[in-house]
């Protein structure tokens, strides 16, 4: 059984193409149902996010499965198969396994280290379980991907350090104040960046959020979302002394915060430190504010420099993450090999046992006046002979399985002995135990 993936992502395809092949959550069940009906596909999982659409499947013949999945994607979304195939990537076997491990560990994400993709893959697996499109192989495959992602996050710092301007602002505030729990934040502007920063500040324990915006109703809406207070934009400087952190992102064409305003606020605060974050372009805050004692001012370039340095650190951590993936890939490859090794040994033993019984019965029928002890001796001798004959290939297959090189030996054994691979589960379990003992 081969594992393969057919897909496209933000790295290979523009959003105008990705959105045409995306699956809405309510459509995934239908898609899985149609994919299960394809004769060459045994198991299948559909992953669909804003940045990628991927179909992972197990099939007896990967090439046939790839072709079938490509045609399915085209027909399902009403696209030309030839044109769509130009945007698709295909991985088979080890490369397909490695790809999912990298995706789950967020090494293939737009922002390396982001946590959302793992949850999205878990959701995709949940849909597949719900609709009965996964079995032994995909269950093991997806669970291994989850454990790989967990190990990468535990053993590396790939998810550490802020890689967005809004979160970098929060990290800086934590360094300046040691802790931002109990602090008060003022947002000047109510755009997306201010909203994102406010969420990060709230999640890190700030006490209160004040919002000032030229459109007061918008300030009220955002303040209500964070259980904060809206203040009139023209009066925001009257509230500066009440806040520890100011984040400004307005559309003003000139400075709206000047050194004199900040000095007045500091006197009212008894010189308690203030942190100003100016992410507006053009800037909202006069850079001379940074010369005022007990004031820390960072603009968008400062923050982007921090983000760039943090991204570089994440890239360094990705090297260690890739090593973890290499290790886990070998383990999974060994398990996949065992799916062929164990049934092959079961079939070989069954064939040898049938031959042994046949020859023993023939021999016993030719010996006259043989007592029960003699019969038992012949039975024991024949069984011991078969066990000795099978010991070496069993041990050899076990070693090859650990090194992920068992398939050529399996193929040779199956061909030379004309084995039929239909091992009952109980016998497979027994042979698996025997393999571990050798």
| SS3 per-residue string spanning 225-277 | HCCCEEEEHHHHHHHHHHCCEEEECCCCCCCCECHHHHHHHHHHCCCCCEEEE
Residue 163: its pLDDT value, please? 56
On whether both 113 and 233 belong to a single domain, the answer is no
Does one domain contain both 24 and 146?
yes
Catalytic positions are 50
Contact of 233 with 210, CB cutoff 8 Å = no
Mean pLDDT across the chain: 88
Residues 295 and 335 in one domain: no
User: What would the pLDDT profile of 89-100 be if each residue is shown by its tens digit?
Assistant: 999 999 999 999
User: What separation in angstroms does the CA of 386 have from each of 168, 351, 353, 404, 416?
Assistant: 69, 11, 8, 27, 17
Res. 425: pLDDT tops 80? no
Q: Is the pLDDT of residue 336 over 50?
A: yes
Q: Would you state the pLDDT for residue 62?
A: 92
Q: Are residues 287 and 350 in the same domain?
A: no
- Residue 110 confidence class, pLDDT cut points 50, 70, 90: confident
For a pLDDT cut of 70, what percent of the chain falls above it?
Answer: 93
- In 3-state terms, what secondary structure has residue 8? strand
> Are both 156 and 173 inside the same structural domain?
no
Q: Is residue 326 part of a domain?
A: no
In this prediction, residues 120-144 reach a mean pLDDT of 95
Whether the predicted pLDDT of 436 surpasses 50 = no
How high is the pLDDT of residue 432? 44
Prior bond of 282 cis (ω within 30°): yes
Phi, psi at residue 190, to the nearest 5°? -135, 30
The answer to whether residue 423 is domain-embedded is: yes
Range with lowest mean pLDDT among 129-133, 174-178, 336-340: 336-340
Domain with 245 in it: what CATH number?
A: 3.40.50.720
259 domain residue, yes or no: yes
Q: What would the pLDDT profile of 191-246 be if each residue is shown by its tens digit?
A: 887 888 888 888 888 999 999 999 999 999 999 998 999 999 999 999 999 999 99
In a domain, 315, yes or no: no
What is the distance of C-alpha 166 from the center of its chain? 24
Distance from C-alpha of 107 to C-alpha of 438, rounded to nearest angstrom: 38
Is 311 contained in some domain?
no
**Tokens representing residue 186 in the block:** 């003022």
State the residue range of the domain holding 358: 331-437
Q: Are residues 43 and 145 in the same domain?
A: yes
- Evaluate whether residue 309 is within a structural domain: no
From 160, 182, 209, the end of a domain falls on 160
In a domain, 94, yes or no: yes
Are residues 259 and 340 part of one domain? Answer: no
Task: Please tell me whether residues 273 and 380 are part of one structural domain.
Answer: no
Of the pLDDT bands very low, low, confident and very high (cuts 50, 70, 90), residue 160 is low
- HSE of 214, CA atoms in CB hemisphere, 13 A: 7
> What is the predicted pLDDT for the residue at 342?
77
**pLDDT at residue 97, as a whole number:** 97
Q: Is the pLDDT of residue 437 over 80?
A: no
Can you tell me the distance from the alpha carbon of 156 to that of 317, in angstroms, rounded to the nearest whole number? 6
Residue 144 belongs to a domain with what CATH number?
Answer: 3.30.460.30
Domain tally for the chain?
3
Q: Are residues 7 and 156 in the same domain?
A: yes
> In the predicted model, what is the mean pLDDT of residues 291-299?
94
Q: Which residue, of 304, 339, 366, is where some domain finishes?
A: 304
Say yes or no: 222 and 273 in one domain. Answer: yes
Question: 156 and 222: one domain?
Answer: no
Mean pLDDT of 109-122: 84
Q: Is 90 exceeded by the pLDDT of residue 334?
A: no
pLDDT at residue number 424: 40
Is it the case that residue 367 has pLDDT exceeding 80? yes
Least confident window among 232-236, 340-344, 363-367: 340-344
Q: How confident is the model at residue 60 (pLDDT cuts 50, 70, 90)?
A: confident
pLDDT band at 404 (very low <50, low <70, confident <90, very high): low
Asked which of 110, 135, 160 is the last residue of a domain, the reply is 160
pLDDT of residue 401: 67
Percentage with pLDDT > 90 across the chain = 57
pLDDT at 423 over 70: no
In terms of pTM, does the model score above 0.75?
Answer: no
317 in any annotated domain: no
Tally Cβ neighbours within 10 Å of residue 235.
Answer: 9
Examine the domain organization and report whether 236 and 189 are in the same domain: yes
Dihedral angle over CA of 46, 47, 50, 53, nearest 10 = -60
């Amino acid at each position: 059984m081969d594992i393969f993936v057919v897909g496209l992502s933000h790295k290979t395809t523009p959003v105008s193409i990705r959105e045409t092949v995306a699956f809405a959550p309510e459509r995934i069940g239908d898609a899985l149902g149609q994919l299960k009906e394809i004769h060459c596909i045994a198991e299948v999982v559909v992953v669909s996010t804003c940045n990628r659409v991927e179909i992972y499947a197990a099939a007896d013949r990967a090439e046939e499965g790839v072709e079938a999945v490509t045609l399915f994607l085209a027909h399902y979304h009403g696209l030309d198969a030839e044109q769509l195939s130009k945007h698709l990537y295909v991985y088979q076997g080890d490369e397909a396994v490695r790809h999912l491990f990298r995706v789950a560990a967020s090494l293939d994400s737009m922002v390396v280290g982001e946590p959302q993709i793992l949850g999205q893959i878990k959701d995709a697996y949940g849909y597949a379980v719900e609709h009965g499109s996964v079995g032994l192989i995909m269950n093991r495959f997806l669970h291994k991907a989850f454990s790989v992602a967990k190990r990468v996050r535990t053993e590396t710092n790939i998810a550490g350090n802020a890689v967005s301007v809004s979160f970098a602002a929060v990290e800086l505030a934590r360094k300046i104040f040691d802790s931002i729990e109990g602090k008060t934040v003022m947002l000047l502007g109510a755009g997306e960046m201010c909203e994102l920063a406010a969420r990060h500040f709230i999640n890190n324990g700030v006490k209160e959020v004040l919002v000032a915006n030229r459109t007061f109703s918008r300030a009220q809406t955002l303040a209500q979302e964070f259980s904060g207070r809206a203040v009139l934009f023209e009066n925001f400087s009257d509230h500066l002394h009440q806040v520890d952190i100011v984040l400004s992102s307005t559309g003003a064409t000139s400075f709206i915060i000047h050194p004199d305003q900040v000095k007045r606020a500091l006197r009212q605060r008894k010189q308690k430190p203030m942190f100003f974050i100016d992410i507006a372009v053009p800037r909202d805050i006069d850079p001379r504010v940074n010369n005022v004692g007990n004031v820390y001012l960072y603009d968008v370039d400062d923050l982007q420099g921090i983000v760039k340095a943090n991204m570089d650190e994440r890239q360094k951590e990705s090297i260690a993450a890739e090593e973890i993936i290499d290790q886990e890939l070998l383990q999974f490859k060994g398990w996949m090999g065992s799916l062929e090794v164990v049934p092959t040994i079961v079939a070989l033993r069954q064939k040898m046992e049938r031959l042994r019984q046949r020859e023993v019965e023939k021999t016993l029928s030719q010996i006259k006046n043989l007592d029960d002890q003699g019969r038992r001796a012949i039975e024991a001798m024949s069984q011991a002979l078969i066990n000795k004959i099978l010991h070496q290939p069993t041990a050899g297959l076990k070693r090859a399985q650990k090194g992920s090189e068992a398939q050529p030996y399996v193929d040779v054994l199956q061909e030379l002995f004309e084995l039929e691979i239909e091992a009952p589960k109980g016998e497979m379990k027994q042979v698996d135990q025997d393999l571990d003992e050798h």
